Copies of this chain bind each other. A is one copy, B any other.
């Protein structure tokens, strides 16, 4: 297929990761999620937990200072770039290298922006209404002190700020993706079907 690299951006709780995994399985191509974090950890020296959290959310928070201490390679933070910026540069390199390797599905981490100049990509955005996502995160991740709605709003806002900071684009703007789907209305399985179907158009 021409559109052999599929990036999936998603609103927290919308099932974008699940859809990405299913799409990769159906197309028989690698799904980069944990592997991406591991590759970034190896290249950057940052701790995987830090990458998981800081690689998609608000670019500068006080917890970054804490993470200098817990990073297995604290020296990597000791240059003129902020840790968040270093992490972004490193993620960019890893994502470009993964795309070079061949067909794959990459979830999140501004991959749509990082790979925007490649013509062999299919950029997807998955979102859903508050009710669908709230029920889903409680079912998958359990309850917390915060209401699920508050958790979702906070995550959305952080992701929006992070994306704007590093891409100067608006997160969730339809024009940045080839397909955007509301998984709450359409259903996770059907979203997978549509993406696989479009990817197969280009075989």
Contact = CB atoms under 8 A, between A and B. Distances in A.
Contact of A174 (B177, B187, B198): B177
A173 B174 CA distance: 6
Interface in A118-139: 122, 125, 127
Tell me the interface secondary structure of chain A in the complex. mixed
Contacts of A170: 170, 173
A182 interface: yes
Given A180-B179, A198-B186, A198-B190, A174 B125 contact: yes
Contacts of A125: 174, 180
A180 B127 CA distance: 11
Contacts of A187: 201
A115 interface: no
Contact of A177 (B3, B11, B182): B182
B179 A181 contact: yes
B178 A182 contact: yes
B190 A186 contact: no
Interface of A: 3, 11, 122, 125, 127, 170, 172-175, 177-182, 185-187, 190, 194, 197-198, 201
